[in-house]
Amino acid sequence: MSQTRLILASGSPRRKALLSATGFRFDVIESGIEEKRGADESGQNYALRTAAEKALAVSARVRHALILAADTIVICNDEILTKPRDEDEAREMLATLSDKTHTVITAYALATAGIILEAKPIISLVTFRALSESEVEAYVASGEPMDKAGAYGIQGTGSDFITHLVGSRDNVMGLPLNEVLVTLARFGVLPERSKDGCGC
Protein backbone atom coordinates (compact mmCIF):
# COMPACT_ATOMS: atom_id res chain seq x y z
CA MET A 1 0.00 0.00 0.00
CA SER A 2 3.01 2.30 -0.23
CA GLN A 3 1.49 4.16 -3.19
CA THR A 4 -1.95 4.46 -1.60
CA ARG A 5 -3.42 7.95 -1.60
CA LEU A 6 -3.71 9.31 1.94
CA ILE A 7 -6.56 11.65 2.82
CA LEU A 8 -6.99 13.59 6.04
CA ALA A 9 -10.73 13.81 6.72
CA SER A 10 -10.49 17.02 8.72
CA GLY A 11 -10.55 20.74 8.17
CA SER A 12 -8.52 21.33 11.33
CA PRO A 13 -5.44 23.44 10.54
CA ARG A 14 -3.72 21.90 13.58
CA ARG A 15 -4.17 18.33 12.36
CA LYS A 16 -3.01 19.35 8.89
CA ALA A 17 0.10 21.03 10.32
CA LEU A 18 0.94 18.07 12.56
CA LEU A 19 0.66 15.53 9.74
CA SER A 20 2.53 17.77 7.27
CA ALA A 21 5.44 18.15 9.69
CA THR A 22 6.04 14.38 9.59
CA GLY A 23 6.69 14.39 5.85
CA PHE A 24 3.49 12.72 4.65
CA ARG A 25 1.97 13.69 1.34
CA PHE A 26 -1.82 13.83 1.65
CA ASP A 27 -5.00 15.56 0.54
CA VAL A 28 -7.63 17.11 2.78
CA ILE A 29 -11.33 16.33 2.37
CA GLU A 30 -13.72 17.39 5.11
CA SER A 31 -16.30 14.79 6.08
CA GLY A 32 -19.27 17.08 6.69
CA ILE A 33 -20.31 14.85 9.58
CA GLU A 34 -22.34 16.55 12.31
CA GLU A 35 -20.63 16.12 15.68
CA LYS A 36 -23.44 15.31 18.10
CA ARG A 37 -23.22 13.11 21.18
CA GLY A 38 -25.87 10.47 21.67
CA ALA A 39 -27.92 10.16 24.85
CA ASP A 40 -25.88 8.46 27.62
CA GLU A 41 -22.94 8.01 25.22
CA SER A 42 -19.60 8.09 27.05
CA GLY A 43 -16.98 10.61 26.02
CA GLN A 44 -14.63 7.95 24.74
CA ASN A 45 -17.34 6.19 22.73
CA TYR A 46 -18.51 9.50 21.32
CA ALA A 47 -15.02 10.42 20.12
CA LEU A 48 -14.48 6.95 18.65
CA ARG A 49 -17.81 6.90 16.87
CA THR A 50 -17.36 10.39 15.46
CA ALA A 51 -13.85 9.66 14.18
CA ALA A 52 -15.08 6.45 12.54
CA GLU A 53 -18.07 8.20 10.95
CA LYS A 54 -15.81 10.90 9.53
CA ALA A 55 -13.45 8.32 8.03
CA LEU A 56 -16.28 6.26 6.56
CA ALA A 57 -18.05 9.30 5.09
CA VAL A 58 -14.97 10.30 3.10
CA SER A 59 -14.16 6.70 2.26
CA ALA A 60 -17.58 6.34 0.66
CA ARG A 61 -16.69 9.23 -1.67
CA VAL A 62 -13.09 8.24 -2.41
CA ARG A 63 -12.93 4.47 -2.56
CA HIS A 64 -9.30 3.90 -3.52
CA ALA A 65 -7.62 5.79 -0.71
CA LEU A 66 -6.68 5.50 2.92
CA ILE A 67 -8.71 7.89 5.06
CA LEU A 68 -7.47 9.25 8.39
CA ALA A 69 -9.96 10.99 10.67
CA ALA A 70 -9.90 12.13 14.27
CA ASP A 71 -12.10 13.68 16.93
CA THR A 72 -11.05 15.41 20.16
CA ILE A 73 -13.03 15.97 23.34
CA VAL A 74 -12.26 17.26 26.82
CA ILE A 75 -13.74 15.78 30.00
CA CYS A 76 -13.75 17.64 33.32
CA ASN A 77 -15.83 16.76 36.39
CA ASP A 78 -17.65 14.15 34.26
CA GLU A 79 -18.72 16.92 31.88
CA ILE A 80 -17.88 16.49 28.19
CA LEU A 81 -16.58 19.64 26.53
CA THR A 82 -16.45 19.85 22.74
CA LYS A 83 -16.09 23.07 20.73
CA PRO A 84 -17.86 26.09 22.26
CA ARG A 85 -20.93 27.29 20.42
CA ASP A 86 -20.31 30.92 21.34
CA GLU A 87 -18.23 33.17 23.58
CA ASP A 88 -20.44 32.61 26.62
CA GLU A 89 -19.96 28.86 26.39
CA ALA A 90 -16.21 29.36 25.93
CA ARG A 91 -16.15 31.36 29.17
CA GLU A 92 -18.09 28.62 30.96
CA MET A 93 -15.70 25.94 29.71
CA LEU A 94 -12.61 27.85 30.81
CA ALA A 95 -14.16 28.46 34.23
CA THR A 96 -14.81 24.73 34.49
CA LEU A 97 -11.19 23.90 33.64
CA SER A 98 -9.68 26.53 35.96
CA ASP A 99 -7.52 25.04 38.75
CA LYS A 100 -8.41 21.47 37.77
CA THR A 101 -7.01 18.45 35.94
CA HIS A 102 -8.99 17.36 32.90
CA THR A 103 -8.85 14.51 30.41
CA VAL A 104 -8.27 15.03 26.68
CA ILE A 105 -9.32 12.17 24.41
CA THR A 106 -8.46 12.16 20.73
CA ALA A 107 -9.82 9.18 18.87
CA TYR A 108 -8.41 8.48 15.43
CA ALA A 109 -9.77 6.15 12.76
CA LEU A 110 -8.31 4.74 9.57
CA ALA A 111 -10.61 3.50 6.81
CA THR A 112 -10.48 2.32 3.23
CA ALA A 113 -13.15 1.08 0.82
CA GLY A 114 -15.87 1.69 3.39
CA ILE A 115 -14.17 -0.43 6.07
CA ILE A 116 -12.64 0.74 9.35
CA LEU A 117 -9.12 -0.67 9.57
CA GLU A 118 -8.39 0.72 13.03
CA ALA A 119 -9.99 3.06 15.54
CA LYS A 120 -8.33 3.94 18.81
CA PRO A 121 -8.68 6.53 21.61
CA ILE A 122 -5.57 8.17 23.07
CA ILE A 123 -5.73 9.91 26.46
CA SER A 124 -3.78 12.83 27.94
CA LEU A 125 -4.21 14.55 31.32
CA VAL A 126 -3.87 18.33 31.50
CA THR A 127 -3.79 20.48 34.64
CA PHE A 128 -4.76 24.17 34.56
CA ARG A 129 -3.73 26.77 37.10
CA ALA A 130 -6.41 29.03 38.54
CA LEU A 131 -7.60 31.51 35.90
CA SER A 132 -8.74 35.04 36.71
CA GLU A 133 -11.89 36.48 35.17
CA SER A 134 -9.83 39.06 33.29
CA GLU A 135 -7.58 36.34 31.82
CA VAL A 136 -10.62 34.42 30.62
CA GLU A 137 -12.16 37.55 29.09
CA ALA A 138 -8.94 38.45 27.27
CA TYR A 139 -8.49 34.92 25.98
CA VAL A 140 -12.05 34.64 24.72
CA ALA A 141 -11.72 38.05 23.05
CA SER A 142 -8.65 36.77 21.16
CA GLY A 143 -10.85 34.27 19.32
CA GLU A 144 -8.45 31.39 19.95
CA PRO A 145 -10.91 29.23 21.95
CA MET A 146 -13.71 29.19 19.40
CA ASP A 147 -12.79 26.18 17.23
CA LYS A 148 -11.16 24.01 19.89
CA ALA A 149 -12.44 21.30 22.18
CA GLY A 150 -12.48 22.62 25.74
CA ALA A 151 -12.11 26.20 24.44
CA TYR A 152 -8.31 26.35 24.50
CA GLY A 153 -5.32 25.61 22.30
CA ILE A 154 -2.18 24.09 23.79
CA GLN A 155 -0.23 25.29 20.74
CA GLY A 156 -1.29 28.89 21.31
CA THR A 157 -1.54 31.25 24.25
CA GLY A 158 -3.72 28.67 26.00
CA SER A 159 -0.49 26.89 26.88
CA ASP A 160 0.08 29.63 29.50
CA PHE A 161 -2.77 28.12 31.54
CA ILE A 162 -1.18 24.66 31.78
CA THR A 163 0.91 23.65 34.79
CA HIS A 164 1.22 19.90 34.10
CA LEU A 165 0.75 17.51 31.20
CA VAL A 166 0.70 13.71 31.29
CA GLY A 167 0.71 12.14 27.84
CA SER A 168 1.08 13.46 24.32
CA ARG A 169 1.01 17.19 23.56
CA ASP A 170 0.13 16.31 19.95
CA ASN A 171 -2.87 14.41 21.27
CA VAL A 172 -4.11 17.55 23.02
CA MET A 173 -3.63 19.45 19.75
CA GLY A 174 -5.89 16.95 18.00
CA LEU A 175 -3.75 14.18 16.47
CA PRO A 176 -1.65 11.66 18.47
CA LEU A 177 1.23 11.50 16.02
CA ASN A 178 3.23 8.61 17.49
CA GLU A 179 0.26 6.26 17.43
CA VAL A 180 -0.92 7.45 14.02
CA LEU A 181 2.54 6.99 12.48
CA VAL A 182 2.76 3.43 13.81
CA THR A 183 -0.69 2.64 12.44
CA LEU A 184 0.02 4.10 9.01
CA ALA A 185 3.33 2.24 8.80
CA ARG A 186 1.56 -1.02 9.61
CA PHE A 187 -0.58 -0.48 6.51
CA GLY A 188 2.46 0.39 4.40
CA VAL A 189 2.04 4.17 4.33
CA LEU A 190 5.28 6.04 5.10
CA PRO A 191 6.35 9.69 5.01
CA GLU A 192 7.95 10.81 1.77
CA ARG A 193 11.33 11.34 3.44
CA SER A 194 11.28 7.77 4.76
CA LYS A 195 10.62 6.45 1.27
CA ASP A 196 13.65 8.40 0.05
CA GLY A 197 15.79 6.76 2.71
CA CYS A 198 16.42 10.00 4.59
CA GLY A 199 16.37 9.59 8.34
CA CYS A 200 16.65 13.32 9.00
| CA nearest neighbour of 184 among 12, 22, 17, 13 | 22
Tell me the Cα Rg of the chain: 17
Say if residues 84 and 150 touch (Cβ distance below 8 Å): no
Say if residues 7 and 66 touch (Cβ distance below 8 Å): yes
The span from the CA of 61 to the CA of 113, in Å, is 9
Phi first, then psi, for residue 100 (nearest 5°) are: -140, 165
CB atoms within 10 A of CB 20: 13
CA 136 centroid distance within chain:
23
Which of 27, 40, 71, 170 is the catalytic position?
Answer: 71
DSSP structure class, residue 97: H
Is position 71 annotated as part of the catalytic site?
A: yes
| CA nearest neighbour of 113 among 144, 145, 67 | 67
* 105: three-class secondary structure by DSSP: strand
The span from the CA of 148 to the CA of 74, in Å, is 10
| Residues belonging to the active site | 71
